[in-house]
A and B are shown apart, each in its own frame.
Chain A
Amino acid sequence: MTSTKEPPATNKPPVWKVSAWRSMYPGMWSWVLQRLSALALIVLFPIHVMNPYIDSVRITMLLLVVWHAMHGIKVILTDFGFPDRHQRKLFWVLCVLGVAAFFWLAYMHTEYWRFMA
């Protein structure tokens, strides 16, 4: 808000950046992990296309997709007016739901695979 008549020297001291990442709250974790899951999916997807029969890749991808989707849902819900004061709770609820969905889907998936075999 300062506007001086004779502006002070132009070499403003650089910004002090060190510990921006140190204060990690759930919302931040949610974001970071969603981005990381996206990166991992980009890596795994071509492997999966080339050889769809690697179980570990399929299961890992399922986990990542579920994780990514859960936090996508969080952003969508809050974007469309989900009350902010509950965003932390939403994070944990979606985490739990995500884990449950993962196990359910993994179970369904293995059953399907067994049936196909």
Chain B
Amino acid sequence: MNEDARLSEGPPVSGVEEEAAPEKEEPEEKAEKRPTVRVRIRRGGAAGDPEARFDEFQIETGPRMTVLDALVAVQSAQEPALSFRYSCRVGMCGTCALKVNGRPAWACRTRLEGLGDEITLEPLTNFPVLRDLAVDMSPFFEKMKRARGWLEPTSAAEKAPALIAPNSRERKRIEPHIECITCGICYASCSIVGHDSDYLGPAALNRAYTLVNDSRDALGLERLLEVCTEDGAWRCHSQYNCTESCPKGISPTGAIKGLKRRAAAGGVKRFAASIFRGRAPGG
């Protein structure tokens, strides 16, 4: 994963704090000077909502503060009606994703340091907005469902945990793609999802890839055909936006390419076989 793709890994800028000297109200003269930043938050529903607007808040910052801390500070002290979603606070649940200065990121693990003294927060792209920063994730999970994102165990796999060595080809293929927390960042960063709302999207295809490689899974070809369609793997344009923005360092693009290779290899084999038998392919 590229370093600079992760907002949270920006250089530990101390200059930013000092530059952003508090210019607004200083209640007590002796109160310790804490640097402040301006947070612009998109409010209201989706585009076109007459209520839609950007609200600005000034908040005090400190070392190691994250975007989530900023949101909590705004919500609990300045604007109780601010809507956003978070749960685990530490990058495991995948519910606090939003756009920070135009790029999708987890609020909980993105530090304010390095973001500048004006931070713009918007809801994730490509998701219906419920209110403010909270989005409706159901289209995303609907696609997971379309890709049959679950194991359908073979009768052998159902009997006992399968023996799969850690250095087997299967495990090595699955391992880099399995730790997806379905936060939706890849889906929000994908320009194809933006154009084609039927496109399965990176996360669903990534899950499908792990299953296609899983010897315990019985769906095999059926799933492959399901996901390698015009609205599936073949729709991907290899722009790597999902790979660049995934906070887990997963490469959905790589998974999609893996699916394409599988499907292509299968297609070539069938084609060859059909010629061998002397009939037209595809019939």
Contacts and interface: CB of A to CB of B under 8 A. Distances in A.
B197 interface: yes
A87 B251 CA distance: 11
B34 interface: no
A13 B244 contact: no
| Most chain B CB atoms below 10 A, which of A15, A17, A31, A80 | A15
Contacts of B253: 27, 78, 84, 87
A13 B254 CA distance: 32
A13 B130 contact: yes
Interface residues of B, number: 47
Nearest to B252: A84
B104 A14 contact: no
A12 interface: yes
Given A1-B138, A79-B261, A85-B251, A16 B46 contact: yes
Interface string B49-76: 1000000000000000000000000000
Interface in A1-41: 1-2, 12-23, 25-28, 30-31
Tell me the interface secondary structure of chain B in the complex: mixed
Contacts of A14: 46-48, 128
Given A16-B128, A79-B260, A23 B238 contact: no
B197 A15 contact: yes
Nearest to B240: A27
Contact of B128 (A12, A21, A75, A81): A12
Nearest to A27: B240
| Most chain A CB atoms below 10 A, which of B137, B243, B245 | B243
Contacts of A25: 5, 239-241, 244-245
B202 interface: no
B213 to A, nearest CB: 14
A78 B145 CA distance: 28
A79 B258 CA distance: 8
B261 A81 contact: yes
Contacts of B2: 88
Contacts of A84: 240, 243, 251, 253-254, 257
Given A1-B144, A20-B194, A27 B125 contact: no
Given A1-B145, A13-B130, A19-B99, 6 more contacts: A13-B136, A15-B46, A16-B47, A26-B240, A27-B243, A78-B253
8 contacts: A1-B137, A1-B138, A12-B136, A15-B126, A16-B124, A21-B191, A22-B103, A25-B244
